[in-house]
C-alpha cells in the first residue's frame, strides 16, 4: 500500500474520485475518510483527527488528499507523512467559491488552502478555471491581512499546479430510456442496440472521457501519473459501477447527510415514470424538466423555480423532478415551490436508489443547471455518455445569470 488516500469530506464527487482511485490502485492503497457532513468543521479539524487515525507505515510513498484537508497541519502533526510526495486535489477553491454575502466568506478556509498548496509537492485542479481563479485571487485575498502581508505566493505555488479533469465513468442507462430516445440515438449517432443494452463503448462522450484520462500520461514528469496509475484508467466493460453515480449520489452517506425534511417525500421514492411515457405519445406529453443538484444557494434554485412558476402562471403544461441531496439548511424556496407547483411535481427529493435516479433522468426531456458557479460540473457531465447536446437523449439547458458571466 504505497498510496495513502485521505478524504475529509467523503461524499458526492469527493467520494466518487476516491472510490475510483481505490478501485484502480486496489491493494496498493489505503483510504482514510470522514463522513460528508458539517463541511466547515471538517475543514477546521480533520487534520487533528487524521493525525490520530491514519495508520503508520513504512510503505507509504504518496499522500493524495482533497483540499478540504489542511495539509500543512497534518504534515506538522505527522512528520512521517510530511516526508511523502504530497498531492493536493482541488474540487473547488475557497477563494472563488460563491457566498451569499461578501462578509460571510471566512478567511480561514481560503488561508488553509494556500498553506496546503505551499506544503504540497503537486497541486491538481479539475479545470483550468478552478486553477486560474484560485491562483489569480491569492494576491487580493492576502490583502485582507491588515499588515505584514506575505508576498509572491502565486509565483511560489503556480509551478506546482496542473489541470487533471475529473475522471468520469459512464454507466449504461439504455434500459431506463423510453423507445423514442433509443431510436433517436440510433438515428443520430448510428448506435445499434444489442439485446436490452446499447453498445456504449464507442460513444463520443466515452471516447472523450478516455482521451481526458489519457492526457495525464503527458504529465509524468511531475510524478503524479506515474505514481498513481488509477488516474490514467480507461473505461471497463460490464454493468454500471457504483463509481458512476453522479456527484449528488452518496448513497452510503444518505443517512448522515440527507436532511430529515426530505423524509416526508418518501412516497415519491417508489414510482414508475415509464407509465407516463406509455400513457400517450411522447410528443403529446408535457415537457418533463429535471433539476438534479444539491439543495443549496450556490445552485440558485430561486432562478429555477422562478421560471417554473412563470410557466405555471401561464397555464403551460410541464412536469418537474427535483432531485439532489439536502443538508441541514434548506433554502425556503423549496417548500414554497413544492406547494405552488402542485400536480406538476413528479418527484421531489433525494433518491437513494441509483436505478430510480437514472430512470428519473432518462425519462426527463430537459436537465437544467442554474448554478451560479461551477468549477467542473460533475453533476451535469455524468448525466450520459453522449455529451454532445445534438445527440443527447435529453437537452441540457444551462441558465446563465444575466448580470455576470459564468467563466466555466
* Interior/surface letters 56-79, b for 16+ CB within 10 angstroms, e for the rest: eeeebebbbbbbbbbbbbbbebbe
Between 47 and 286, the higher pLDDT residue: 47
The mean pLDDT value for 370-396 works out to 51
| Predicted local confidence at residue 265, as pLDDT | 46
Model confidence pLDDT, tens digit, residues 298-310: 788 999 999 999 9
- How far apart, in Å, do the first and last CA atoms of the chain sit? 36
Handedness of CA 207, 355, 299, 41 (dihedral sign): negative
Rounded Cα distance between 368 and 292, Å, is 8
The mean pLDDT value for 129-139 works out to 94
Q: What is the 3-state secondary structure (H, E, C) of the chain?
A: CCEEEEEEEECHHHHHHHHHHHHHHHHHEEEEEEECCCHHHHHHHHHHHHHHHCCCCCCCCEEEEECCCCHHHHHHHCHHHHCCEEEEEECCCCCCCCCCCHHHCCHHHHHHHHHHHHHCCEEEECCHHHHHHHHCCHHHHHCCCCCCCCCCHHHHHHHHEEECCCCCCCCCCHHHCCHHHHHHHHHHHCCCEECCEECCCCCHHHHHHHHHHHHHHHHHHHCHHHHCHHHHCCCCCCCCCHHHCCCCCCHHHHHHHCCHHHHHHHHHCCCCCHHHHHHCCHHHCCEEEEEECCCCHHHCHHHHHHHHHHHHHCCCCEEEEEECCCCCCCCCHHHHHHHHHHHHEEEECCCCCHHHHHHHHHHCCEEEECCCCCCCCHHHHCCCCCCCCCCCCCEEEECCCCCCCCCC
Cα Rg, the chain, nearest whole Å: 22
Handedness of CA 146, 150, 152, 158 (dihedral sign): negative
Q: What is the average pLDDT score of the chain?
A: 74
Identity of the highest mean pLDDT range in 94-103, 118-127, 223-232:
118-127
- What are 310's three cell numbers? 412563470
Rounded Cα distance between 118 and 134, Å, is 13
Q: Are 188 and 391 in contact (CB under 8 A)?
A: yes
Does residue 204 have a pLDDT over 70?
A: no
The mean pLDDT value for 59-79 works out to 97
Q: Are 67 and 89 in contact (CB under 8 A)?
A: yes
pTM: 0.64
| Predicted local confidence at residue 179, as pLDDT | 79
The mean pLDDT value for 60-64 works out to 97
Which residue's C-alpha cell is 509524468?
220
Does residue 165 have a pLDDT over 70?
A: yes
Between 379 and 365, the higher pLDDT residue: 365
Does residue 144 have a pLDDT over 70?
A: yes
| Predicted local confidence at residue 34, as pLDDT | 97
Starting at the edge strand found earlier in the chain, the sheet holding 287-292 runs 345-348, 318-323, 287-292, 366-369, 395-398
Q: What percent of the chain clears pLDDT 70, i.e. is strictly above it?
A: 65
Does residue 32 have a pLDDT over 90?
A: yes
Q: Are 111 and 72 in contact (CB under 8 A)?
A: no
CB under 8 Å to 272, separation ≥6 — which residues? Answer: none
Model confidence pLDDT, tens digit, residues 145-161: 999 999 999 999 999 99
| Predicted local confidence at residue 396, as pLDDT | 53
Identity of the highest mean pLDDT range in 58-62, 192-196, 235-239:
58-62
Query: If pLDDT is split at 50, 70 and 90, which confidence band does 100 have?
Result: low
Q: How many CA atoms lie within 13 A of 18 on its CB side?
A: 27
| Predicted local confidence at residue 192, as pLDDT | 52
Q: How many CA atoms lie within 13 A of 234 on its CB side?
A: 7
Query: If pLDDT is split at 50, 70 and 90, which confidence band does 76 have?
Result: very high
Query: If pLDDT is split at 50, 70 and 90, which confidence band does 189 have?
Result: low
- Exposed (0-12), middle (13-18) or buried (19+): which is 280, by Cβ within 10 Å? exposed
Model confidence pLDDT, tens digit, residues 206-261: 443 334 333 434 443 444 333 333 333 333 333 333 333 333 333 333 334 444 44
Query: If pLDDT is split at 50, 70 and 90, which confidence band does 63 have?
Result: very high
Other C-beta atoms lying within 10 Å of the C-beta of residue 104: 7
The mean pLDDT value for 390-396 works out to 43
In degrees and rounded to multiples of 5, residue 328 shows phi and psi of: -65, -45
Amino acid at each position: 500500500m504505497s498510496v495513502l488516500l485521505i478524504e475529509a469530506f467523503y461524499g458526492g464527487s469527493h467520494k466518487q474520485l476516491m472510490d475510483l482511485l481505490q478501485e484502480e490502485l486496489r491493494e496498493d492503497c489505503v483510504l482514510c475518510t470522514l463522513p460528508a457532513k458539517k463541511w466547515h468543521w471538517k475543514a477546521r479539524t480533520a487534520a487533528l483527527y487524521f493525525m490520530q487515525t491514519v495508520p503508520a507505515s513504512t510503505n507509504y510513498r504518496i499522500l493524495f488528499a482533497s483540499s478540504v484537508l489542511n495539509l500543512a497541519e497534518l504534515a506538522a502533526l505527522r512528520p512521517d507523512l510530511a516526508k511523502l510526495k504530497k498531492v493536493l486535489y482541488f474540487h473547488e477553491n475557497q477563494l472563488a467559491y460563491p457566498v451569499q454575502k461578501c462578509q460571510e466568506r471566512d478567511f480561514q478556509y481560503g488561508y488553509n488552502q494556500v498553506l496546503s498548496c505551499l506544503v504540497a509537492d503537486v497541486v491538481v485542479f479539475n479545470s483550468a478555471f478552478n486553477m486560474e481563479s484560485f491562483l489569480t485571487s491569492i494576491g487580493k485575498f492576502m490583502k485582507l491581512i491588515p499588515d505584514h502581508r506575505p508576498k509572491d505566493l502565486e509565483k511560489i505555488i503556480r509551478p506546482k499546479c496542473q489541470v487533471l479533469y475529473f475522471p468520469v465513468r459512464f454507466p449504461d442507462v439504455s434500459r431506463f430510456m423510453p423507445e423514442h430516445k433509443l431510436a433517436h440515438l440510433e438515428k443520430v449517432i448510428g448506435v445499434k442496440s444489442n439485446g436490452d443494452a446499447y453498445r456504449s463503448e464507442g460513444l463520443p462522450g466515452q471516447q472523450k472521457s478516455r482521451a481526458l484520462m489519457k492526457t495525464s500520461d503527458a504529465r509524468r514528469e511531475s510524478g503524479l501519473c506515474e505514481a498513481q496509475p488509477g488516474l490514467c484508467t480507461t473505461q471497463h466493460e460490464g454493468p454500471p459501477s457504483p463509481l458512476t453515480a453522479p456527484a449528488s449520489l452518496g448513497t452510503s452517506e444518505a443517512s448522515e447527510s440527507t436532511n430529515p425534511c426530505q423524509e416526508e417525500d418518501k412516497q415519491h421514492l417508489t414510482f414508475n415514470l415509464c407509465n407516463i411515457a406509455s400513457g400517450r405519445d411522447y410528443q403529446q406529453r408535457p415537457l418533463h424538466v429535471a433539476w438534479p443538484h444539491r439543495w443549496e444557494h450556490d445552485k440558485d434554485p430561486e432562478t429555477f423555480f422562478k421560471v417554473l412558476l412563470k410557466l405555471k402562471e401561464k397555464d403551460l403544461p410541464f412536469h418537474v423532478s427535483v432531485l439532489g441531496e439536502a443538508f441541514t439548511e434548506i433554502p425556503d424556496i423549496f417548500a414554497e415551490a413544492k406547494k405552488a407547483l402542485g400536480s406538476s411535481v413528479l418527484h421531489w427529493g433525494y433518491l437513494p436508489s441509483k436505478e430510480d435516479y437514472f430512470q428519473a433522468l432518462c425519462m426527463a426531456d430537459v436537465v437544467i443547471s442554474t448554478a451560479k458557479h461551477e468549477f467542473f460540473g460533475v453533476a451535469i457531465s455524468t448525466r450520459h455518455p453522449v455529451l454532445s447536446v445534438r445527440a443527447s437523449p435529453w437537452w441540457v439547458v444551462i441558465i446563465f445569470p444575466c448580470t455576470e458571466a459564468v467563466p466555466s
